[in-house]
Amino acid sequence: MKMSFRWYGPDDPVTLTNIRQIPNMYSIVTAVYDVPVGEVWSRESIAKLKKQVEEAGLAFEVIESVPVHEDIKLGKPTRDRYIASYQENIRRLGEAGVKCICYNFMPVFDWTRTQLDHELEDHSTSLVYYKEQVEKMDPLTGELSLPGWDSSYTKESLKQVFEEYAKLTEEDLWDNLRYFLEAIIPVAEQCDIKMAIHEDDPCWPIFGLPRIITNERNIDRFLSLVDSKYNGLTLCTGSLGCSLENDVVAMAAKYTKAGRVHFVHMRNVKVLEGDRGFEERAHYSACGSLDMYEIMKALYDNGFDGYVRPDHGRMIWGETGRPGYGLYDRALGATYLNGLWEAISKGSQGK
Ligand SMILES: [Mn+2]
């Protein structure tokens, strides 16, 4: 298990030095942020980022994300140009020593929450998703501003992309995903980069848009689209765990054993009564609905040797900054996860 931490580049209030001081920290998880989705990342930008990270004493091995252009998801004729750019990004990142690329295939919206600063009982704040709030939102009429949201959409262009998705069935989305994978996985194999799709977050359709990387049946189907270990997963415990239908421990065991888990996002969520709603909580198992010990044990017992990062944290101790991506609670999360791993690995020796 290689511990890692997301860093949003030089503008991130969390510094590389901060991150380096977290015990057992190995790799940064970052991206080039100054290039529009679908374009090729300059070698200079990649080299600069790598240099900054390595000079801080950390590895530059995980990219999150190389985003997938909407035309690829929609299967438009222009997709081939964007796929060629994607292939080139894989090659350039391979040259820079990157080992794992996280991406997702969610139409229009990335991860979605209804509130970013919900106050919990201990006066920390966290990200939440309340069904009744999301049902009142209409992306086409309201003033919608969501985290992970690509703010480059105008109201008009958003309306247009929704109209395009209205014609697309779930099966079409699967076909378009297959087309994309068949083009990029051979390149990833040549470059020795593990591609790691992130599950849809939350793992159900929102605003009438299809979502397919949501549960065990669909992940099985995803992995069989291109049967290569380079076609793998970012197992995100919080994304899968917000639906009680997903047995995250069993999924962690099964996909790790199959050699298809390359990156893990560890986060605890409290699933609210009736499902389809959740609050992000501290990493410690008893704070939420997930058993973090059992998940780490499933990884360990099945020979996991990929990257782990503490996923979203709460805002604590008066810290301000990017919701979910403060330093303090994620550092506590990393330390807790290190502790679980050490205890599980030492407890297993000699057995
Ligand atoms: Mn995640």
What is the rounded average pLDDT for all residues in the chain? 92
pLDDT at 351: 60
User: How far, in Å, is the centroid of ligand 1 from the Cα of 311?
Assistant: 6
Choose, from 236, 242, 262, 329, the residue flagged as catalytic. Answer: 236
Distance CA 161, CA 170 (A): 16
User: How far, in Å, is the centroid of ligand 1 from the Cα of 122?
Assistant: 24
Ligand 1 is an ion; its neighbours by CB within 5 Å are 236, 265, 311
User: How far, in Å, is the centroid of ligand 1 from the Cα of 196?
Assistant: 11
C-alpha angle with apex 48: 309 to 234, nearest 5 degrees? Answer: 25
Q: What is the rounded average pLDDT of the residues 272-295? A: 91
User: How far, in Å, is the centroid of ligand 1 from the Cα of 236?
Assistant: 5
118 in active site: no
Residue 68: closest CA among 200, 260, 169? 200
pLDDT at 144: 61
**Residue 60, φ and ψ in degrees, nearest 5:** -115, 75
Q: What is the pTM of this model?
A: 0.94
User: How far, in Å, is the centroid of ligand 1 from the Cα of 232?
Assistant: 15
User: How far, in Å, is the centroid of ligand 1 from the Cα of 29?
Assistant: 12
Q: How confident is the model at residue 103 (pLDDT cuts 50, 70, 90)?
A: very high
69 in active site: no
Distance CA 280, CA 147 (A): 14
pLDDT at 349: 80
123 in active site: no
Within 10 angstroms of residue 43's Cβ, the number of other Cβ atoms is 11
pLDDT at 143: 60
301 in active site: no
Task: Choose the weakest-confidence range: 5-19, 147-161, 221-235.
Answer: 147-161
Residue 217 makes CB contacts below 8 A (sequence gap 6+) with: none
pLDDT at 319: 95
User: How far, in Å, is the centroid of ligand 1 from the Cα of 201?
Assistant: 8
pLDDT at 54: 98
Choose, from 69, 262, 283, 312, the residue flagged as catalytic. Answer: 312
Within 10 angstroms of residue 129's Cβ, the number of other Cβ atoms is 23
Show the domains of the chain with their CATH numbers: 2-348 (3.20.20.150)
Starting at the edge strand found earlier in the chain, the sheet holding 268-271 runs: 115-119, 125-129, 278-281, 268-271
User: How far, in Å, is the centroid of ligand 1 from the Cα of 319?
Assistant: 21
265 in active site: yes
Note the maximum CA span of the chain.
63
312 in active site: yes
- Summarize pLDDT for 11-29 with one digit per residue, the tens: 999 999 999 999 999 999 9
Distance CA 233, CA 254 (A): 12
Q: What is the rounded average pLDDT of the residues 28-46? A: 94
pLDDT at 111: 79
